[in-house]
Structure 1
């Protein structure tokens, strides 16, 4: 039992350092926080201003571990409203990120499947419910989205986002 304490302390410290980057959206946020736009810059963009949305993409989530769209192409600087509808009978989510970050997060989710969600690039959607992400893709590149609930990502519940440089 004595040897377990250092391991527990190390595990707890690891979780605390992961903090915001692995937090998922919803319950802990106050009403005022939901309307505040984060200034945090990610490798794949930043939270978008709802007043600057250039288009809306509807993505449905299914229990066959697929999204109805697996490829999205946007222009650098474009702000999307991504409306997510869970058409399944189990929980699904959509998390935007780099391939490396999504794989890392999927591994953490296997160990801690009930993590809270509160980052603007994540939406945890119960069955038959709808949520949205408003995201500004301000950096060109190839990015991903996926459902990081244990087993879903590995089963192929992923997609790609291509951000083309500059305005047309």
Structure 2
């Protein structure tokens, strides 16, 4: 093989390696900007449901009347394997979140929110609603246990915007 041909092959190989490194770095950088990072595909309380499967509907009202922040109802019980369509209504005067997770995961998420109070995110296990708006969340509960519903906007959880969700 001629010296010219080897130099050309080496150049092409170097270009392919650099391109591969660039693409890998961009993908990793993109995942790092997602709230929760690459591990966010695992959810302790189950998995996103599908609209075409059978489900039960539970209406949740989020309110902040007279300084108290609350979900109504704030205690929920579902069966393992059940799919639930949550109809979420923000009847309050400020934004609220509805997030389903473990107390430990919510504590971690709450700390992230405290550092970045204006952070916007779209996790399958939660919704953020502006005042006067309604949204839906369809969730399949695949794991038994005690979970938490929470609003993790700074100050809301501490003001009472949390509840218990038991999967039997």
TM-score interval, smaller chain? 0.7 to 0.9
- Residue 79 of structure 1 is aligned with which of 75, 78, 83? 83
Match in the other structure for 2:152: 148
* Distance in structure 2 (CA, Å) of the matches to 1:44 and 1:53: 19
Match in the other structure for 1:117: 121
Q: Is the counterpart of residue 47 in structure 1 residue 48 in structure 2?
A: yes
Aligned-residue RMSD, C-alpha:
2.3
* Distance in structure 1 (CA, Å) of the matches to 2:32 and 2:102: 19
Question: How many residue pairs align between the two structures?
Answer: 136
* Distance in structure 1 (CA, Å) of the matches to 2:138 and 2:145: 18
Cα separation, partners in 2 of 1:160 and 1:129, compared to 1, 3 Å: same
- Residue 21 of structure 1 is aligned with which of 31, 36, 40? 36
TM-score with structure 1 setting the length? 0.75
Q: Is the counterpart of residue 161 in structure 1 residue 161 in structure 2?
A: no
TM-score with structure 2 setting the length? 0.75
Whether the aligned pair in 2 keeps the contact of 1:91 and 1:126 (CA below 8 Å) is yes
Q: Specify the SS of the correspondent of 2:137.
A: strand
More helix by share: 2
Bigger CA radius of gyration? 2
- Unpaired segments ≥5 residues, structure 2: 1-30
- Unpaired segments ≥5 residues, structure 1: 1-15, 23-39
Q: Is the counterpart of residue 92 in structure 1 residue 92 in structure 2?
A: no
